[in-house]
Amino acid sequence: MDFCEMLDHRRSTRAFTGEPVTRAELDQMLAAGVRAPNACNAQCWHFFCTIDRTLIERLVPEVYNRGEWLRDVGCAILICTDPAELEQRFGSIVRERFSVQDTAAAATQILQCATTLGLAGCWMGAFDRDRACEFFGVPAGMEPVILLGIGHAAAEPPARPRKPMNEVVTLVGNCD
Ligand SMILES: Cc1cc2nc3c(=O)[nH]c(=O)nc-3n(C[C@H](O)[C@H](O)[C@H](O)COP(=O)(O)O)c2cc1C
């Protein structure tokens, strides 16, 4: 699958078969995540992951109560940032922006890798952060930013429409 095909196939998916994600697939996705661009290559991120079915089934009541579909993913990844390390290196003004940008870049690459592996996933921002920390054993000081659910899609959902380019793009200067 080339890059554009991957972009065409990637969908936020919220229906899964329950088939497992293998450890090798998880390792590949994580390797894609840590190769993401990040501020000064400081890599102030940490990925808490599970492919354990029993744990995954507990995610819905304990961490993200908006979707029963999460029970059927094969893998869950909580992407955290280490704000203290970021603040030490870059100061307090930039640390918040950097931590979100770093984790978003990693999440994007993980989801794109999942697509090339024939898997699908959903990015979740609206999860319970305190419960996620308890559930994944996140140490004090680290902050959870993004929860990913990844697995085998039950069906490929339709592509979600995008606004026309002329609504979201402003070309400045001579761009011809
Ligand atoms: C920052 C961010 C937060 C999101 N939070 C959620 C979420 O909490 N729950 C959910 O089901 N989808 C969530 N999504 C997925 C979006 O709804 C989805 O990417 C968007 O509707 C576009 O659809 P597509 O990914 O299929 O192109 C989130 C995506 C992003 C980037």
- Cite the DSSP H helix spans in 10-49: 23-34
* pLDDT value, residue 128: 97
Ligand 1, atom nearest to 127 Cα: 8
* pLDDT value, residue 130: 97
* pLDDT value, residue 129: 97
Q: Residue 29's CB: how many other CB atoms inside 10 A?
A: 26
User: Checking DSSP bridges between strand 120-124 and strand 75-81, what pairing results, if any?
Assistant: unpaired
Please write the tens of the pLDDT for every residue from 52-110: 999 999 999 999 998 899 999 999 999 999 988 888 888 887 787 888 999 999 999 99
Q: Which residues line ligand 1 (CB under 6 A)?
A: 11-12, 14, 122-126, 160
- d(CA 15, CA 140) in angstroms, rounded, equals 33
* pLDDT value, residue 91: 83
* pLDDT value, residue 113: 98
Residue 18 predicted with pLDDT over 80: yes
DSSP 51-103: --HHHHHHHHHHT-TT-GGGGG-SEEEEEEE-HHHHHHHH-HHHHHHHHHHHH
* pLDDT value, residue 168: 98
User: Which of 70, 72, 124 is the best mutation target for the ligand 1 pocket, counting ligand atoms within 8 Å of the beta carbon and taking the most?
Assistant: 124
The average pLDDT across 16-26 equals 98
Ligand 1 center from residue 162 Cα (angstroms): 13
Q: Quick one: pLDDT band at residue 40, thresholds 50, 70, 90? A: confident
> Scanning the structure block, which residue is given the tokens 């002329």?
166
- Which fold does the domain 3-168 belong to in CATH? NADH Oxidase (3.40.109)
> Scanning the structure block, which residue is given the tokens 């996705």?
29
Cβ neighbours of residue 10 under 8 Å, at least 6 residues apart?
Answer: 111, 112, 115, 120
Question: Which H/E stretch holds residue 47?
Answer: strand 45-50
Fill in the amino acid letter for 121: G
Residue 162 predicted with pLDDT over 80: yes
Q: Which residue has the higher pLDDT, 49 or 90?
A: 49
Please write the tens of the pLDDT for every residue from 131-160: 999 999 999 999 999 999 999 999 989 999
